[in-house]
Structure 1
């Protein structure tokens, strides 16, 4: 069994860019676009415990900000368990991380994010 601990350095700039875009849109009040960038950061970071948990933390804070009880309640178990699942490499690849998506359901990854993985030389679960 392989344990996943660190995000490959080739992926870090893409992950960071999604979080930066999230902040920009959030501050501008463009909440739908902000959320979209959190989902994209989740897909990029979900195989790595710290990054995965960090995105769920941001999603929890987002849910609190927009007063979405369902999102807040849905993020709590994801925040507690997501990092552990990442550590042992048992993630639903492509899952966007929001409470509106079953936590164990794999989803297709958009072409542009597949290109991110390809450019970085990292498979979505590596």
Structure 2
């Protein structure tokens, strides 16, 4: 993982974990979605991210999110290893597993800076 992307991913995960510990589930999930976009090209960060999304789903007692994250945990690392992660996908169960999404300008700038494709 590129150092710039790794640092951005780590920052978003740190914020998400702090919010999780404060029981601010929705705010934590928003940062997990951003971290997902940053980390989905790398199997280990991608899988860790989905684990935390599952934890939020459990805390919220959201059956759809729990099931969606269990499925994603089974395929996330494989998708990353095969280069099949859909760029921009936020990783929640409200989005199809293979659905690419537009990238926010702040993340797009990081991808451009590190020569990562935006599609």
TM-score, normalising length: structure 1? 0.87
Q: TM-score, normalised by structure 2?
A: 0.92
1:1-126 matches, within 5 Å, as 7-119=1-113, 121-124=114-117
> 1:75, 1:25 → 2: CA distance?
19
Residue 124 of structure 1: how far off its partner (Å): 4.8
Bigger proportion of residues as helix? 2
Gaps of 5+ in 1: 1-6
Q: Bigger relative contact order, structure 1 or 2, given CA contacts below 8 A and separation 6+?
A: 1
How many pairs does the alignment contain? 118
C-alpha root-mean-square deviation of aligned residues, in Å?
1.4
